[in-house]
Structure 1
């Protein structure tokens, strides 16, 4: 069962057998607030996650992600939660620019 660990949310873990849902959907199903200004449609970078481990466990990079990388808006260790599904364990963190003021982050 794939596990998402959000390291700067006190290593909060999300477990799911559903490999069809996006990381953003899985995060929201577990009642964690995560920025997504465009509603999870790949039209912005507000849902980006910094990937610490498990890039190889993620779906292939999407067209919107390629476009943002070419524009310099998405680094090679970043993915969009709304565009990414997983097949194995990953460790991610919330980007500083996308943190919510009402959430206590661990680092």
Structure 2
């Protein structure tokens, strides 16, 4: 069963019964807020996640992610939640400082 662990949200664990779902969809269906500004279409980078472990459990980069990476708007350990499918196993991520919501309590 695929699982997302969000480190700086108190190691929040989110299990998904279905593989091949977008990371942002899994997070939102759990009732957890995650920033996105373009309607989950890959037109911005507000939903970026920092991947701590499990990059190999994600789908390959999309053209949109490559576009932003080439503009230096995504670091090697960052992906877009709206473009990345969680295929299997566990993904450990962090919310980027610039994408934190003021109403959530983040941990380090």
TM interval, short-chain normalised = over 0.9
Q: Which residue of 1 aligns with 2:40?
A: 40
Richer in strand (by share): 2
Cα deviation digits, residues 4-48 of structure 1 (max 9, x gap): 000000000000131232000000000000000001000000000
Q: Which residue of 2 aligns with 1:105?
A: 106
Moved more, 15-24 or 31-40: 15-24
Q: Which residue of 2 aligns with 1:50?
A: 50
CA RMSD in angstroms comes to 0.7
Taking structure 1 as the reference length, what is the TM-score of the superposition? Answer: 0.97
Shift of 1:2: 1.1
Counterpart mapping for 1:78-93 below 5 A: 78-86=78-86, 87-93=88-94
**Misfit runs of 4+, over 3 Å:** none
Shift of 1:101: 0.4
| Unaligned stretches of 5+ residues in structure 1 | none
Cα deviation digits, residues 32-77 of structure 1 (max 9, x gap): 0000000100000000000000000100000000000000000110
Moved more, 42-51 or 19-28: 19-28
C-alpha distance in 2, partners of 1:18/1:93?
22
Taking structure 2 as the reference length, what is the TM-score of the superposition? Answer: 0.97
